[in-house]
Structure 1
Amino acid sequence: MSSIDIKPTETPASHTHDFPFYNIVNFLSYTWKKLASASVVGALLGFAFWYALVAYQAEITLNNNGAISLDSWLNLQKSLPNLVLKIQANTRISEQELDMYRQMSDERWWKKNVSPTTSVTRNDIKEMDTQMRADATANNYILNFKMTASGRSKELAMANINSAADFLKKGSSYLVVKSMLHDLQVRVLNRDAQTAKQISDIAVEMQYQNQRLVNLEGQLKRFPSDGKTALPQVVDPKASNAKYMPLTTQIIALNTDIMDNKETVNRLNDGLMQNRVLAQFLEQALPMAENSTDGESLIINLLNFESELRTKLSVEGIKSLNSLHGLRSELTSIQNQFKNGLEQNAPPGVNKPYMVKSIAIGIAAAFFLMLFLLLGRGVWIIIKSDGSN
C-alpha cells in the first residue's frame, strides 16, 4: 500500500505580501520619487500661476467722521454705479482708468470691495428701542470704510485704489448735493401753490371783514349812545356772544383782525418773493448739477453763484436775502461734512495674496493626478496579467 503525501493547503492569508498595509508600503516605496517629483512640479506650476495671473491688491481705510450715515450708504451703493455709467457716457476716460470704472459700474463691486466698520452690531440694534436705534444708525454709526482694489502691477493697484477712494468722496458729495437741489425744487413748487392759496383765502376773508366793519360803523351811527357807554374789552369777533358786545368793542376787535390779516398777507408776499429768489437760483443750479459729477467742485460753483446772486439782490433789502442765508448754510454744511469726512488715515497697502494657497493647490493637484495615474497603471497591469493567465 503506497503512502500519499498530503501538503498543507496555502491560503491567501499565508502570503505576507497580500496584506493591504504591506501593499501600500510596497507601492509607496516604488513610487515616492514620482509622487515627490510631481509635487515639486505642481508647486512650480502653482507659483507660476500665482506670479502670472493673480493680481496685486491694494487696501485703504477711510475715516467716516460722520460724512455718511447708514441710510445714505445703502442708497449710495445703488446710486454710485449709475453715476459711474454717467461718467463713462459723458467723459473721456484714460485706458488705465477705464477698467476700474467698468468694475465700479457694477453694484456688486461696491458690496464686495467697500466694507463699512460700524460702532454697534446688527444684533445690538435689534435690542434697542426706536429712539436709540435712530441715534445708533445716524452719521456716527459708521466709523470707517475699508476699500480694496486690484491691479496687474503694484503701481496700477495703487492707482486704482486712489481713484476709487477719490470717486467715493466726490461722487457721494455730488449725489448728496443733487438730492438737496431736487428737494429744494419740490419745496419751491409746493410753497408757491400753498402760499397763493393762503393769500387768496385771506383776501376773501378780508372782504367779509370789511363789509362787517361797514355794517358795524353804520349801526354805531344809528345808535351813538351804545358807543359812549362802552368800556374797552378784549373780545373775539368770531365768538358766538360777540354780537352782544358794545359796538365800539366789536369794531376795535374787527379792525385788529383786519390788521393781522394784512400783516399775514404781507409776510406771505415776502415769502413768495423769497421763493422767487430760490427759483432763480435753481434755474442755474440744476443745469450745473446735471453737467457735473464732482461734488467738491459743484459745491464751490454753487457757492460762487449764490454770492453773485446775493450781490445783485442786496439792493432789494434783507427780505430778499433771507432765503439765501439758509441755502448757503446747507451747502456749507455739506461741504464741511465731506471735507472733514472720508479722510485717509494711512497710505494704501499693496500686496499679492494667495501665494501659499496657489502653491498648495498646485502640489495637491499634481500629487493626486500622479497618484491616480500610477494606480491606474497598476490596475491595468493586473488586468492584463489576469487575462493572460
Structure 2
Amino acid sequence: MLEKKEHAYEKAVLVGLITKDQDEEKLREYMDELEFLAYTAGATVEKRFTQKMSQPDSRTFVGSGKAEEIHNYIKEHEIGTVIFDDELSPSQLKNLERELEVKILDRTNLILDIFAQRAQTSYARTQVELAQYEYLLPRLTRMWTHLERQRGGIGMRGPGETEIETDRRIIRDRISLLKEKLKTIDKQMSTQRQNRGKMVRAALVGYTNVGKSTLMNSLSKSEVFAENKLFATLDTTVRKVVIGNLPFLLTDTVGFIRKLPTQLVESFKSTLDEVREADLLIHVVDISHESFEDHIDSVNQILMEINAHQKPMIMVFNKIDAFAYEKKDEDDLTPSTRKNISLDEWKKTWMAKSKHPTVFISALTKENFPEMKKMIYDEVHKIHISRFPYNDFLFEYFEEEEEA
C-alpha cells in the first residue's frame, strides 16, 4: 500500500508593495510571476496582500496595520508560509517571523529553493548550495533562533542546517570550500569548451519558461527536459545541430528572471560563460506573455552585466500558437493597448526596426520553422566563413522537409 502523501502543497499568501518605482500594474505582473514561482516550488496561493507606500518599512516591510491584517488572515485560514515579492533584510525577516509566527520567505529565497529542487547534477547542486549559503550567512541569527519552528518544505531545502551549534565560521569555511570546488569544475568546463574544436557555437537565451528547451529538442532532435514550470532547465546542455549541411553547437542555458538573486548570478558564472563565449545568441521570447517586452529588457540587462550584449543575435518570438488579443471594433476610436494589438500589428512596431534578424514561430507546432532555420543558417554561415574563409565551398543551404 502506497504511503499517503500529506501536505503536497503548502498554503501561502503573497505580499507586495506599490511604490513610486513600482505602480499597481507593474506590481500585478510581479505578483503573477511570484505566484507562478510559488506554484513551481510547491505552494498554493490563497490570497495576495498589497499596500501603497513610498518605501518599504524598515522594520516589517509593510505597515503595522497591514502586518496585523496578514496575521489575522493566516491565523484564521491556517496559512503556513508568507512570501514577499522583494528581498527582505535580516532584521525584517526576524521581525516578521516574530510577529506573524509562520515561515517567512522572500523572492530570493523562493528562487533559491526552486533551484535547489531543480538541480540534478553535482555541478548544479554545488552552484545552488553556494548561493544558498551566501544568502544564509547574514541571516544566521534569524534562522537559528527560529529553528524549532522549521518543518521543512519550501525555502528549507538545500543546505538544510540541523545543528544549532553551526556558526558563521563553519558557514564561511563551507563557502570557501564550495568556491574552490567550483573553480576546479570551471577549469574543466573551460577546457571542454576549448576542446569542442572551432565549430560555431550558438546559445539559446531568454526569460524562464519561454520554450528554449522545446526549441532545443526540435532543432537537435534530442530529449532535453522541458516543462511548463519556471527554471525547468538548470544544467547547461550542448548538442551538435546540422542545418542544411552546416554543423554547429547549440547550447540550452538557464532561464533569466526579473530580480534574479545576485548570489545566483555569481554562483552560476560557468553556466553564464556558455553565453559569454558563444558566437551567436538566439534570444527566445514568449510573444504570448503580456509582459514579453519587460522580459526582453530583463534578459538584455543581464546580457549587459555579463558583457555579452554586443554579440550577433537572432530574435525568435515563440508561442505564436498561444498568442491572443482582444479585437477592437472598426468604429472604436479609443487608443490601442497591448491587449488589443494583433500579431501583424506588433510586427510593424519597433520589431520592424530591430537591428537583429527576427522571426515568429511556434516551437510546439513548428510553424515558420523553415524561415527560422534559414535565418540561423545564414548567421552561423557568416561566422563560419569569417573563421574558415578557404573551405566555405563545402557548405550550402537547402530546404529540409518539415516533419508532419
Shared fold (TM-score, shorter chain, > 0.5)? no
Higher fraction of helix: 1
TM-score tier (shorter): under 0.3
Instruction: Answer 1 or 2: higher relative contact order, Cα 8 Å, separation at least 6.
Output: 1
Look at both structures and tell me which one has the larger radius of gyration over its CA atoms. Answer: 1
